[in-house]
Amino acid sequence: MYFYLSFSILIDFALTYLLSVTIRKYRSNQSTMSANPEQPNELPNPQSRETAKELYAQKKYKEALNEYSQLIEQKPNEALNYLNRAACSIMLMKYDSAIDDTKKCIELDKELYKAYIRLMKCLLIVGDIIQAETTLSRLLEQDPKNKAVAVHQKDLEYVKRFLKDGESAFAAKDYRKVVYCMDRCLDVSKSCIKFKLIKAECLALLGRYQESQKIANDIFHIHPKNVDAIYVRAVCLYFEDNIDKAFTHFQHVLKLAPDHTKALEMYKRAKSLKKKKEEGNAAYKSEQYQKAYNLYTEALAIDPQNVATNAKLHFNKGMVAAKLGRLKESVTECSEALKLDANYLKALLRRAASYMELKEFEEATHDLEKAYKMDSSREINRLLTNAKLALKKSKRKDYYKILGIDKNASTDDIKKAYRKRAMVHHPDRHPYATEGEKKEQEKKFKEVGEAYGILSDPKKRSRYDSGDDLDDIDNAFQDMDPNAQFRSFFTQHGGYFHDYFHFG
C-alpha cells in the first residue's frame, strides 16, 4: 500500500514537471517568433510578390516599389526583393536609391550576376566613373563575353573619352567645346549632376546666363546644399552685374565649403571690381574727371570676362572723356561698350552726341535711328530730327563759310563780306592765271554770289538756316549771272564796279 502511494506521488510529480517544462518552452517559442519575422507563421502572403510583379508589368512603378518595400520589411534578408525594388527605382529615375538597393542585394548574395549589371547601369547614369570601373572589372571576371557588359563597357569608354576632352578644353578656356563634351557625357550619364554643373558653369562663362541658371536652379531645388549649383548661380548673377546678390551666393558657398577655390577667387575679384567702380563713380560725381577716367581704366583690367560690368565701365569712360573734351576718345569708349552690349541705349546716345559735336552727322543719324527703334520717345525723336537736319545741311554749300562770316552776322556784315570776297575772286582780278586757276576763281566767284543772294534776303536766309526747301533755294541760283549780280551790287551801293579794278 505504501509502495503504491509512493509510486503514484512520483508519477504526479513527473507529470507536473513535464507540463511546466512544456509551458516554458511554448512561451519561449512564442517570444522568439514575435521577435523574428522570418518564422514560418510570419511569412508574407505568397501573393504579395506576384502583386508587385503585376504592378511593375502594368508600369505602376510607384505602387510596385511600395509592395517590394513591404516585402523587404517582412523579409529583410532576401536579396531579390532589393534587386526588384531597384528596378522600380530606375523606372522612377531614383537612381541613388536603386544603387543603394543593388549594393544591398550584392551584400546579401555576392554571386547574383544580374545585380552587378543593374548596378553598372545605375552608376553610368549618375556618372560615377570610379565605381563603374570597379563594377565592370567584377563583371568581366565573371563573364567577359556577356553582351550587356560589352554595351556598358563601350558606354563607359565613351564617357571617359569626352570627360577627358572636356577637362583639356576647360583648361584651354574653350568653353564651347566643354559644353559639347558634357552633352556627349550626358548622352550616357543622363542624371550626372557633376556633368550638368560643368556645362552650366561654361554656359555662364559664354554669356548664356538663362540656360546656365535653369540647370543650376533645377539641381538646387532638389539639392539645396549643392555648393556647385549655388556657385553657378552666383557666377550668373555676377556676370549680369547683380553684384550684391552674387556676394550673398558666394558667401553661402564659402560657408558650406570654405575650401571652394573657384568661389573664393571669384568672390575676391567681384569685391575688387565693385570697389574700384564705386571709387570711379565718386570721383565723377565730385567732377574729378581725370581721376574717374583712371579708376574706370583700372577697373576694366580686373575681370575681362565680366561683359555686363565692363560695358558700363567703357560707357563711364566715354562720359568722362566727353567732359574732358576728348570727343574722339568718347566715341571710342562708347563703341567698346556697344561691342559688349549691342543694345546699350545710353552708350548709343552718348556716341551720337559726340558725333554731333564732331560734326559727323551721318554717323550720329545712324546711331539715333537705331536708338529710336529701341526707344521711340519724344526726346530721341527730337535728337534724330536735329541730326537729320544737320546731315542735310552738311551736304550743301556753307554760305556763311563762303563769305567768311558767322551765323549771327548782321546785314551790314554780309554786305561787307560779299564786297570783299567778290573782289578777291572776280575773274578780272586774275588775267594772267592759268586756265585751271581761272576756272577755280570763277567757281568761287559764283559761290560768293549765291551766298550773298541767300543770306541778304531775310526770308531765304531763314529758310536756309532752318533747312527747309534747301534744294529749291539752291536751284533758284543755278542760272543766275554772277557778273550781273556783281554790277548790280556795286551800282546800288556806290560806285561803278570798274572803279575798283585798275589793270594796265
Are 70 and 83 a contacting pair, CB within 8 Å?
no
Find the mean pLDDT for residues 131-137: 96
Long-range contacts of 376-380 (CB under 8 A, 24+ apart): 380/349
- Of 124-128, 168-172, 457-461, the one with minimum mean pLDDT is 457-461
> What pLDDT shows up at residue 6?
43
Question: Residue 403 is placed in which grid cell?
Answer: 563769305
Examine the pLDDT at 436 and tell me if it is beyond 60.
yes
Question: Residue 88 is placed in which grid cell?
Answer: 522600380
> What pLDDT shows up at residue 27?
43
pLDDT digits (tens, 9 = 90+) for 177-212: 999 999 999 999 999 999 999 999 999 999 999 999
> What pLDDT shows up at residue 19?
44
> What does the alpha-carbon distance between residue 240 and residue 455 come to, in Å, rounded to a whole number?
56
The H or E element spanning position 18 is: helix 2-35
> What does the alpha-carbon distance between residue 134 and residue 126 come to, in Å, rounded to a whole number?
15
> What pLDDT shows up at residue 183?
98
Are 156 and 133 a contacting pair, CB within 8 Å?
yes
Which pLDDT band, with edges at 50, 70 and 90, does 395 fall under?
A: confident
By three-state DSSP, how is residue 468 classified? Answer: coil
C-alpha dist (Å) from residue 51 to 41, 64, 335, 436: 20, 8, 71, 110
Question: Residue 337 is placed in which grid cell?
Answer: 561698350
Write out the DSSP string of 236-254.
HHHHTT-HHHHHHHHHHHH
> What pLDDT shows up at residue 493?
52
Percent of the chain with pLDDT over 70: 83
Q: Which residues neighbour 361 within 8 Å (Cβ) at sequence distance 6 or greater?
A: 355, 387, 390, 391, 394
Alpha helix ranges (H) inside 358-500: 361-374, 378-394, 399-403, 411-425, 435-455, 458-466, 470-475, 482-492
Which pLDDT band, with edges at 50, 70 and 90, does 469 fall under?
A: low
Percent of the chain with pLDDT over 90: 68
Q: What is the pTM of this model?
A: 0.70
> What pLDDT shows up at residue 134?
95
Find the mean pLDDT for residues 155-172: 97
Which pLDDT band, with edges at 50, 70 and 90, does 403 fall under?
A: confident
Alpha helix ranges (H) inside 286-326: 289-300, 307-323
- Of 145-154, 161-170, 423-432, the one with minimum mean pLDDT is 423-432
> What does the alpha-carbon distance between residue 394 and residue 401 come to, in Å, rounded to a whole number?
12
The mean pLDDT of the chain is 86
Are 350 and 334 a contacting pair, CB within 8 Å?
yes
Which pLDDT band, with edges at 50, 70 and 90, does 446 fall under?
A: confident
Nearest-10 crossing angle of helices 193-205, 147-171: 30
Q: Which residues neighbour 365 within 8 Å (Cβ) at sequence distance 6 or greater?
A: 384, 387, 388, 391
> What does the alpha-carbon distance between residue 460 and residue 399 come to, in Å, rounded to a whole number?
12
pLDDT digits (tens, 9 = 90+) for 271-303: 999 999 999 999 999 999 999 999 999 999 999
Examine the pLDDT at 41 and tell me if it is beyond 50.
no
Are 117 and 108 a contacting pair, CB within 8 Å?
no
> What does the alpha-carbon distance between residue 499 and residue 102 come to, in Å, rounded to a whole number?
119
The H or E element spanning position 502 is: none
Which pLDDT band, with edges at 50, 70 and 90, does 319 fall under?
A: very high
Long-range contacts of 419-424 (CB under 8 A, 24+ apart): 419/489, 419/490, 419/493, 421/448, 422/448, 422/449, 422/452, 422/486, 422/489, 423/500
Examine the pLDDT at 242 and tell me if it is beyond 60.
yes
C-alpha dist (Å) from residue 33 to 20, 27, 40, 74, 75: 20, 10, 9, 13, 14
